[in-house]
Amino acid sequence: QSRSSAASDVYKRQGLGPALLPENLEGKSVLFLQHTILYGRTGTAMPPWKPLLTEQEALWISQQLKAGKVANQ
C-alpha cells in the first residue's frame, strides 16, 4: 500500500497530469484505470507501474480512485 500511496501522491499533488478526482474519472472503468496504472500512458508523465505493482494492487488503486477515497486523503 505504501508504493501505491506514493504513486498516487506524485500524480495527484504535484501536477504531473490531470487531478485524480472522481469527477475527472467519470466514464472510465476500473479496468481502464488498472490498465493505465500497469502500462502507463505513452506521451505523458504516467509511467508503467507493472514492474512494481501486481495486477491486484493496481486494481485496488483503481477502485480507490473511482470511489474517491484517495482524493480525500
Give pTM, 2 decimals. Answer: 0.71
Q: Within 10 A of 65 (CB to CB), how many other CB atoms are there?
A: 23
Task: Write the pLDDT tens digit of every residue in 24-72.
Answer: 899 999 999 999 999 999 988 889 999 999 999 999 999 999 988 865 4
Q: E-assigned strands of 1-73?
A: none
* DSSP assigned state of 24: G
Contacts 24+ apart (CB under 8 A), 53-58: 53/3, 53/4, 53/7, 57/3, 57/4, 58/34
36 Cβ partners below 8 Å, 6+ apart?
A: 46
